[in-house]
Amino acid sequence: MTARSRAIARVGRFLVAGTVIAIVAACGGSSATSAPGSVQPSGSLATQTQSFTSIPSCGCSFGASAAASAPASAAASAPAAATTAAKTAATNAATNAATNAPTAGAPAATPAPTAGAPATTRTGQSGTVVAWGDNSSDQTTVPSGLTGVVAVAAGDEFSLALKSDGTVVAWGANDIGETQIPAGVTNIKAISAGSTFGLALKSDGTVVGWGDSTYGQTTPPSGLMNVVEISAAGVHALALESDGTVVAWGGDDNGETDVPAGLKNVAHVSAGYDFSLALLKDGTVVAWGDKNPTDTTLGVAKVPAGLSGVTGISAGYYHSLALKSDGTVVGWGANDVGQITTPAGLNAVAVAAGGNVSVAIKSDGTVAAWGGNESGQATVPAGLSHVIAIDAGGSHVLAVVASGS
């Protein structure tokens, strides 16, 4: 069963006696930041300063978000280089925060989480898109001539790309308008893809949505502004405001939009299938949602005890990833196909959780993937390198390769 059919089946279960009950039916999203991931790397792999916890991450396909990145070296394998890149990215983010073009964010491997640095993005360069995995709806058929891409977001069976000029390109399934970008969607700082809808963060701090809005997921709350990061998943969405608080809307069948009272000092957000994650500025993670008592994959909203030193997060379909400052990755939730069994020796700078796959940008610019591979989503194309942003969808993966590499 494809990720799309799983989502539709989940929606169908709640169409009882002609009454529609709000549900969340999408993979997790990396958060999308306006200054990129990432990664976002969470299936999936979005702030003003989207992974790789969230680039723009999903991260994850259903909830993947993407954020624009700023020029930075694509090869940061040495610790010293990584430190320099992080400092440079942070400086660029502060300098460019007020511009209309996508701004730069610190890499997900920086020592402390900084608002606007998605887990799905490694650097701020632009480039071309490489895609692999399920192509049943042409979601991995990248439009010819697409260049200048700074962030990507993978949905259920559609794909989004954010260009350096602030415009958005979409391709793949269009059953509910998920690839029909509204007129006037310009000056975009970050993007994120839910199951069958898209979100974009504008340079003025407002949010616009398109595609399926059955549960109001494409209609941000009235008065929402000063947003620095977005993340979409299934049929719900998250927005991180400049004051470190979180706003959520859309389906809430499992409490995924019930933001914990008093939640503040948030650096990043990532939306999962029926749960949500927030990375606090102290490097710890808070989760909520996943309240379905019949769900056999309970645990995605239960953060591992003692988890700290986190710099990036990505929420997938039924699993979550956390990127730590030392480059290691911690996963929790479903592991039926090994999606949280991190490869030995992995030194990541961005991560993204998808439907049942996990991906990471390594410190040398190459990509590691593990988990489900029924559609080839965990089979990284041979020779892929110089990757600067990544995101994972339902059963497909998108990566941005630095121009000139």
**pLDDT higher for 275 or 65?**
275
pLDDT for 366 equals 98
Which of 24-28, 136-140, 334-338, 351-355 is the least confident region?
Answer: 24-28
Least reliable range by pLDDT among 71-80, 90-99, 161-170, 321-330 = 71-80
Higher pLDDT, 264 or 24: 264
Q: For residue 304, is pLDDT > 70?
A: yes
Indicate the average pLDDT of the chain. Answer: 78
Total domains in the chain come to 1
**Which pLDDT score is estimated for 81?**
38
Q: Which two tokens stand for residue 368?
A: 């590691």
Closest CA to 68 of 184, 163, 145: 163
Residue 120: per-residue pLDDT: 67
Region of poorest pLDDT, from 108-112, 245-249, 264-268? 108-112
Q: If we measure between CA atoms, which residue out of 297, 345, 353 comes closest to residue 30? A: 353
**Among 38, 34, 7, residue whose Cα is nearest residue 323:** 38
Kindly tell me if the per-residue pLDDT of 108 is higher than 70. Answer: no
Q: CATH number for the domain including 383?
A: 2.130.10.30
The predicted pLDDT at position 405 comes to: 76
pLDDT tens, position by position, 191-229: 999 999 999 999 999 999 999 999 999 999 999 999 999
Question: What is the spatial distance between Cα 273 and Cα 256, in angstroms, rounded to a whole number?
Answer: 9
> What number is the average pLDDT over the span 29-36?
41
Query: Once rounded to an integer, what is the mean pLDDT over residues 181-194?
Result: 97
pLDDT: is 336 or 8 the higher one?
336
Most confident listed range (28-42, 46-60, 107-121, 214-228): 214-228
The helix (run of H) or strand (run of E) holding residue 88 is helix 79-96
pLDDT on residue 292: 65
pTM of the predicted model, to two decimals? Answer: 0.77
pLDDT tier at 299 (50, 70, 90 boundaries)?
confident
Q: What is the DSSP letter of 15?
A: E
Which pLDDT score is estimated for 295? Answer: 58
Q: What is the pLDDT of residue 124?
A: 62
On the question of pLDDT at 101 being above 70, the answer is: no
Domain interval for residue 188: 3-402
Q: What is the pLDDT of residue 404?
A: 85
- Mean pLDDT, residues 373-391: 98
Residue 325: which of 40, 50, 112 has the closest Cα? 112
